[in-house]
Amino acid sequence: MTTIAKQTALEKILKLNKSIPEFRNESNKEFKERLKGKRKLILTAILNRKPAGYLIGYAINKSAFYIWMAGVIPKYRRKKVMTALMDYTERWTKEKGYKKIKIKTRSTRKAQLANLLKRKYTLIRTETVQKEGTKKYYFEKKLL
């Protein structure tokens, strides 16, 4: 069972987003507004011919790329779906000339934190979210 990451249309992601319980069901409008006018990468992960997860990122500037949203449907977790998405993203950003990738996550997302550290992302900043009692972690990875 190999997971395949491939570029896709935003409309396919909007449906997938509703299958990931950690997300707050951002509206179609919110997705479109965030990505408007930006150089972007929109990926779907396919496992057993079914969509299993997605990743959306965009250029912050000419040298930095930001992974904005990434998630895996619960029944496909621990099957290397996120690995396929991140591998594709790191290859693609390097080919496009970016020097670093940035990503933000929360203290409640332990698997994502572990994955980022395993992939050699560096923690650059933390921030406490007072109303939620959680922390945000800001990571980056320099592309060599």
pLDDT at 24: 67
pTM of the predicted model as reported, rounded to 2 decimal places = 0.92
- Look at residues 82, 76, 68, 141 and name the one whose alpha carbon lies nearest to residue 111: 82
19 burial level (CB within 10 Å; 0-12, 13-18, 19+)? middle
At 131, the pLDDT band (50, 70, 90 cuts) reads confident
pLDDT at 104: 96
Contact criterion met (CB below 8 Å) for 23 and 64:
no
pLDDT at 118: 95
- Topology of the domain covering 4-142: Aminopeptidase (3.40.630)
Instruction: Kindly report, residue by residue over 16-72, the tens digit of the pLDDT.
Output: 888 888 886 677 888 889 999 999 999 999 999 999 999 999 999 999 999 999 999
Mean pLDDT of 102-108: 93
